[in-house]
Amino acid sequence: MQGKRPLMASVLLSLFLISLHLWLCFAQSSPPNFTRNDFPSDFVFGAGTSAYQVEGAAAEDGRSPCIWDTHTHAGKMPDNSTGDIASDQYHKYKEDVKLMSDTGLEAYKFSISWSRLIPNGRGEVNPKGVDYYNNLINELTEKGIQPHVMLYHQDLPQALEDEYHGWLSPRIVDDFTAYADVCFREFGDRVSHWTTIAEVNIMSIASYDIGVFPPQRCSYPFGVNNCTAGNSSTEPYIAIHNTLLAHASVFHLYKTKYKAFQHGWIGLNVYTYWYSPFSNSEADVKAAKRARDFTLGWIVDPLVFGDYPKIMKKIVRSRLPVFTKSQSEYLKGSFDFIGLNHYTSIFVVDNSVEALAMPIRDYSSDMLAKCTVSKNETPSGKFVPTSTPYHPDGLRKMLEYIKQKYKNPPIYIQENGCELVTEDTMNDTYRINYLNGYIGSTLEAIRNGVNVKGYFVWSFIDVFELLDGYRTRFGLYFVDFDDKELKRIPKLSAHWYANFLKGKNIIGLQGGHSVVLDLELK
Ligand SMILES: *[C@@H]1O[C@H](CO)[C@@H](O)[C@H](O)[C@H]1NC(C)=O
Ligand SMILES: *[C@@H]1O[C@H](CO)[C@@H](O)[C@H](O)[C@H]1NC(C)=O
Ligand SMILES: *[C@@H]1O[C@H](CO)[C@@H](O)[C@H](O)[C@H]1NC(C)=O
Ligand SMILES: *[C@@H]1O[C@H](CO)[C@@H](O)[C@H](O)[C@H]1NC(C)=O
Ligand SMILES: *[C@@H]1O[C@H](CO)[C@@H](O)[C@H](O)[C@H]1NC(C)=O
């Protein structure tokens, strides 16, 4: 895993075993001009983080290890880092919420650490864990910032991994539901947007096919690590099967026990690129469609139609678990919104001849396609070798695709953002142009009838990144990880976002416009 590519992009790209340079390509046309007021009034703009990546206090106040603690303590990160301290939001939440308020954030998306709330994964609740999330939520609501809560962001309690291999076992359904029950009971009076699981497709691929995320399972000849256990041909499918059933169980729990008086919404989060055929050949066009079905359809088809995409059943056959009729009914309609993480677009090349000739296949080769970042695109902007490739129109296309395919469900863009490792850490004009383009693309989708309800920048502050540790940064606020105080400093993008949220006319910087530095930050 060399290179500093966008977090989840890295995972899927390595999955396709393609190594390439990421070229930055600015669109030739001038960026859209718009203001906050061009969006519907009930639309929310926010930014996000996740528990393991931001909280720190890993062994404090009764928290027990999650699989990421085990992973990082085994020295698995490229920079040998851990989330032991991370951005220390556990101790600095008041300061961070103040920054959110100064920025004009309308919502903050964060996740709850399961092993902080229920250290053994099931059973006894840790009162200090309840206190922490109560304090954070109260601080947010007092400042008028909506809490949007992710129940699970890659951080399974190690106890459940040790006991029954977590998501590989159907036993996860009851434990996850019991954990969600505690969250709804304790926090549901103030939280109305709940997402069950972050990037379920990435979790499965990264943990059970290519083995880069804990518990690092894969099987020869698949995966980027020589895993000691796993089965890349079957486990990615088993994990998703259990994940979907766990999600549906939580949805039904909320609906029967809480919805009538808490009036909240439950969603599931999926990671997508926009997939374009590499060429106009029929084979590539079909391959792009397969890639959409294998990544997005794998997760969302069961929630809308009650079953996996036909093409997956045809290719994966007996390795794809089957939903019973009652499970299928249980899944159908089990969401109030789709949470989407989207960073960039990729091109898809048909690979069916080679893949079908393989003696065994894994999830990645089952797609019968290879993906590549760029197609002969000449960089027209400043070359930034380590940044998220800029294809804002891909977001609009993905949103319109979801509208058409899945009956126009409400969608929250829960992660969109830009990785940068440059000398211009603070003067992050590339990030500003990137966000400007993607927010503009979202507005276009809304004007075309897509039911998008919110947009969250990843990440509010710099955090521990799951692939690269502290080597890459996505934050609107710089965190000085070398400073004992972990000082937060607004990047130019924080000023830019603040201006936008205050209703100012926002223009990307490509035309030479500058950001007005009028954000007072103490
Ligand atoms: C945005 O505004 C700038 C300055 O007012 C203008 O030059 C540019 O053409 C506008 N771009 C679009 C896409 O309308
Ligand atoms: C990684 O960190 C651990 C402790 O955090 C330390 O014991 C070990 O020597 C480090 N390894 C490298 C290669 O720096
Ligand atoms: C995996 O094992 C092979 C053969 O034993 C070795 O050549 C390779 O370097 C190993 N890869 C990793 C990532 O450890
Ligand atoms: C993976 O599971 C399949 C189906 O049970 C089995 O045929 C195959 O041998 C397993 N592969 C490994 C590496 O265990
Ligand atoms: C940021 O960089 C751009 C070009 O790289 C430059 O024009 C601008 O003056 C810089 N802004 C600040 C605040 O340093």
The pLDDT tens digits of the residues spanning 110-149 come to 999 999 999 999 999 999 999 999 999 999 999 999 999 9
> Among 210, 226, 227, which is best to mutate for testing ligand 3, by the most ligand atoms less than 8 A from CB?
226
Taking the C-alpha atoms of residue 460 and residue 456, their distance in angstroms, rounded to an integer, is 9
Percent of the chain with pLDDT over 70: 87
- Kindly give the number of the ligand 2 atom that is closest to the alpha carbon of 73: 5
- Distance between Cα 348 and ligand 3 center (Å): 28
Taking the C-alpha atoms of residue 325 and residue 277, their distance in angstroms, rounded to an integer, is 35
Q: At what angle do helices 429-447 and 492-501 cross, to 10 degrees?
A: 30
Q: Is the pLDDT of residue 2 over 80?
A: no
Q: Burial code of 457-493, b = ≥16 C-beta within 10 A, e = fewer?
A: bbbbbbbbbbbbbbebbbbbbbbebeeeebebbbbbb
Overall pTM surpassing 0.85 (yes/no): yes
Which of 199, 235, 419, 465 is catalytic? The answer is: 199
Judged by phi (left if over 0) then psi (alpha if -120 to 50, else beta), residue 419 lies in: beta
Ligand having the closest approach to the CA of 506:
1
CB 293 within 8 A of CB 275: no
Would you state the pLDDT for residue 20? 26
Where do we find the tokens 């766990």? 246
Ligand having the closest approach to the CA of 359:
4
- Kindly give the number of the ligand 1 atom that is closest to the alpha carbon of 31: 13
Taking the C-alpha atoms of residue 483 and residue 230, their distance in angstroms, rounded to an integer, is 40
Q: Whose CA is nearest to atom 14 of ligand 5?
A: 427
Q: Whose CA is nearest to atom 1 of ligand 2?
A: 80
Q: Which amino acid is at 432?
A: I
- Distance between Cα 427 and ligand 5 center (Å): 6
Would you state the pLDDT for residue 314? 98
- Kindly give the number of the ligand 5 atom that is closest to the alpha carbon of 512: 7
Would you state the pLDDT for residue 48? 98
Distant-in-sequence, close-in-space partners of 385: CB < 8 Å, separation ≥ 6: 21, 22
Would you state the pLDDT for residue 517? 41
- Distance between Cα 265 and ligand 4 center (Å): 39
Question: Residue 452's CB: how many other CB atoms inside 10 A?
Answer: 23
Average pLDDT, the chain: 89
- Kindly give the number of the ligand 4 atom that is closest to the alpha carbon of 220: 13
Ligand having the closest approach to the CA of 230:
4
Residue ranges lining ligand 1, Cβ < 6 Å: 30, 32-33, 507, 511
> Which helix (H) or strand (E) segment is 494 a member of?
helix 492-501
Percent of the chain with pLDDT over 90: 79
- Distance between Cα 426 and ligand 5 center (Å): 10
500 versus 520: which is more confidently predicted?
Answer: 500
The pLDDT tens digits of the residues spanning 427-468 come to 888 888 889 889 999 999 999 999 999 999 999 999 999 988
Mean pLDDT lowest for which of 30-44, 154-168, 406-420? 30-44
- Distance between Cα 187 and ligand 3 center (Å): 47
Which of 55, 139, 186, 415 is catalytic? The answer is: 415
Q: Which amino acid is at 3?
A: G
Q: Is the pLDDT of residue 349 over 70?
A: yes
Judged by phi (left if over 0) then psi (alpha if -120 to 50, else beta), residue 123 lies in: left
Taking the C-alpha atoms of residue 464 and residue 206, their distance in angstroms, rounded to an integer, is 17
> Among 69, 72, 80, which is best to mutate for testing ligand 2, by the most ligand atoms less than 8 A from CB?
80
Q: Whose CA is nearest to atom 5 of ligand 4?
A: 234
Q: Whose CA is nearest to atom 7 of ligand 1?
A: 511
- Distance between Cα 470 and ligand 2 center (Å): 15
| 199 given a catalytic annotation | yes
Would you state the pLDDT for residue 505? 62
DSSP letters along 326-352, please? Answer: HHHHHHTT--SEEEEEEEEEEEEEE-H
Would you state the pLDDT for residue 3? 31
- CA-to-CA dists, residue 508 to 24, 26, 79, 111, 492, angstroms: 16, 11, 34, 31, 12
- Kindly give the number of the ligand 1 atom that is closest to the alpha carbon of 513: 4
Would you state the pLDDT for residue 386? 57
The pLDDT tens digits of the residues spanning 380-426 come to 333 344 578 888 899 999 999 999 999 999 999 999 999 887 666 89
Q: Whose CA is nearest to atom 4 of ligand 5?
A: 429
The pLDDT tens digits of the residues spanning 39-50 come to 999 999 999 999
The pLDDT tens digits of the residues spanning 286-318 come to 999 999 999 999 999 999 999 999 999 999 999
401 versus 503: which is more confidently predicted?
Answer: 401
> Which helix (H) or strand (E) segment is 248 a member of?
helix 235-257
Would you state the pLDDT for residue 146? 98
Ligand having the closest approach to the CA of 75:
2
> Which helix (H) or strand (E) segment is 370 a member of?
strand 369-372
| 465 given a catalytic annotation | no
